[in-house]
Structure 1
Amino acid sequence: MAKIFIVEDEAEIREELIQLVSARTHDGIVGACGSVKEALLLIPSADPDIILMDIELSDGQSFEILERLPLTPFSVIFVTAYEHYALRAIKAGTLDYLLKPVKEKELYDALDKASLRPNVLHAVQKEILFDKQSKMLVLKTLNETYFVRHSDILYCKGDGGYTTFFLLDGREITTSTTLKEYETLLPEGLFLRIHKSFLICLNLIISYHHDGFVFLQGGIQVPVSTRKKDLLMQKMTINNA
């Protein structure tokens, strides 16, 4: 039986999670709380296998809990209403995240996944979560979650409410998130939106053609809007300085 601890500051959602988990005969609740302070006090003695953890709590963020807890072999499933937090919810073995409102099937699938790998060390999870050198983006599609390094992104193409990522290894990943949102998530010193439909990695530009195109690594041709031309020239000058 998996021992599950819940950290959620909204009492109604916390109770809903307790009921959903309790409905599974092979899982058991070993504790629940709603704050960073309580979690740091209760989790060590509860010795959970899996922690369901909201990110925004009444007295801080749950990342602080992971930073301050002693090294313990448990798995973490983040539960959040904000998809941008997935940037920090990097999967390390059984690390996962769910968006609110939590769907029963998604919760159970995440618990099953976590239970299959109970020995992933908290130390490894922390290393990936808090290593500032690990520049990664979480891309969630209908069926899978991908963890992509910024340096592996060649360019992104927006199409209405969807964005397709074109990676250096040839993969294409399409998500139901707008290009505008990814523009705010990716570092502006490394990426630039050069057209309403295109966001590119500045380090992978091979050349700029004055007829309004850039060529990226691999010979990819991407259009540049007239109003973004000067900014592109400025960024290219800075990057090559």
Structure 2
Amino acid sequence: MNILARLFRISALLGLAIMSPLVLAQTETPDALAYHVLYMLKTHGGKTICLQRASTVFDVRRELLADQPELAAVDQTGNEKVARAMWSKYPCPFSPNRTELRTAVAADILGAWVYPESSQKLRYGPQVQAPRPGGLVMKCESVAFFEPNEMRVAQILGQVACPFVTAADVAPQRKNPLVATWELRQGGRLVVYRSDVLDHIEEWDTFIVKQDFAMQGTIFKTGDLLQYKRRERGNEFNATTQFRHLQSLK
């Protein structure tokens, strides 16, 4: 057995068996790509990588190669390419590559939205401990987009009732100095600019629900927005570090 294969099997024994929904198949011979897949799943599974079904390392390998055949040529130094491919394909909480979603355009996102308390469980991967500023949990979040590029965001912490019930509840925020603006680029990439943060980087892939569906105990209704935070300072690999489920406020 070569060194790569030994490392592969040792890594599996050290803890892969406890990481659902990944299953290790012992009947195929691992190559460099399989080893990189194993490393990514062990290191980032349930944090920034989420599989939607029980899969072996080799299942994931085959899915990656179906999209990017050139990954078959990666060697032991090729983890960056594999990392980007896996972060792009398997974001948490689930992949947006599904028939119920389409890429959002600017007209889709205009208006006021709320990220409800019931969906906050999906903001981070299931193995991530959500931040608690001051020991307080996130109750809800309002996000509003106005023409030509005005953006307003407010987060409510603690056990108080969420105050965002209608669009009128967001209106008072517009009296505050404008520090955030937005641009929705082709392909649904929302870019956020902030005048109050030096060299701010913030980008979200944005989708609109075109058909109701349920996932992980949450119902996503037609017209809802789903956002995947794909870029920020320190993240140039297209990893999703936060997820938003936004419901329209009327």
> With structure 1 as the length reference, what TM-score do the two structures score?
0.33
- Higher RCO structure, 1 or 2 (CA under 8 Å, sep 6+): 2
Higher helix proportion = 1
Higher strand proportion = 1
